[in-house]
Amino acid sequence: MTSTSLSTAELRKPVVAAAAVREFARGGYHGATIADVARAAQISPAYVIKLFPAKERLFVTALETCFDRVVEALASGADRAVDQSPDGILEAMGDAYAHLIADRTLLMLQVHAQSVADLPEIGAALRAGLQQVVEFAQNRSGASDEAVQRFIAYGQLCHLIVTAQVDDLPEAWAQLLTLGIRHPE
């Protein structure tokens, strides 16, 4: 019988990834530094560089962590759906996602990723994450292509409403944009 033990690096990578999610969500790719991530992870910048030799790689790892958490939330929502019809499952997944992004960290990381998607490695990771979400929503819900497209489009509208802080504006245009959309506090 053999036992498997994780190396210090294997144990530290998830801690650094979680710190990277928070720091890149706060400052974006250009605003957050490896030193910021190291400080948040309570390790040296040199050790972060040893684990993730390039800032792009660190950002990509944070983005992959983000999309894994998104899919976990969608799965949890789908599992709790009272109405197991395709539309019912999509609605439950949307509600779970709205609760997930209530703290804005994962939402802001996605927004920052979109702003630097022209960097090849980050653009590829963003597309892979979107693919993961779309395919999960389609496969788990069994919904039509059109329903899944509306689900994703509605999610992007929710991103816009939250990031632009439109949800409580009294102007007619803002009321139109947010009609029927409420996010958890």
- Average pLDDT rounded to a whole number, residues 137-147: 97
Residue 142: left (phi > 0), alpha (psi -120 to 50), or beta?
left
What band does 96 get if pLDDT is binned at 50, 70 and 90?
A: very high
pLDDT at 184: 64
Cα(57)–Cα(73) distance, integer angstroms: 24
Give the burial string for 14-24 (b: 16+ CB within 10 Å, else e): eebbbbbbbbb
Find the helix packing angle between 55-80 and 8-31, rounded to 10°. 100
Neighbours of 51 (CB within 10 A): 21
Give the burial string for 152-174 (b: 16+ CB within 10 Å, else e): beebeebbebbeeebeeeeeeeb
The pair of structure tokens assigned to 82 is 């009272």
* 59-178: CATH number: 1.10.357
Portion of the chain with pLDDT greater than 90, in percent: 77
pLDDT at 163: 86
Asked whether residue 70 carries a pLDDT value surpassing 60, the answer given is yes
Give the burial string for 136-151 (b: 16+ CB within 10 Å, else e): bbbebbebeeebbeeb
Portion of the chain with pLDDT greater than 70, in percent: 94
pLDDT at 146: 97
pTM reported for the whole predicted model: 0.89
Tell me which of 21 and 102 has the higher pLDDT: 21
What band does 5 get if pLDDT is binned at 50, 70 and 90?
A: low
Asked whether residue 119 carries a pLDDT value surpassing 90, the answer given is yes
What band does 185 get if pLDDT is binned at 50, 70 and 90?
A: low
pLDDT digits (tens, 9 = 90+) for 14-59: 999 999 999 999 999 999 999 999 999 999 999 999 999 999 999 9
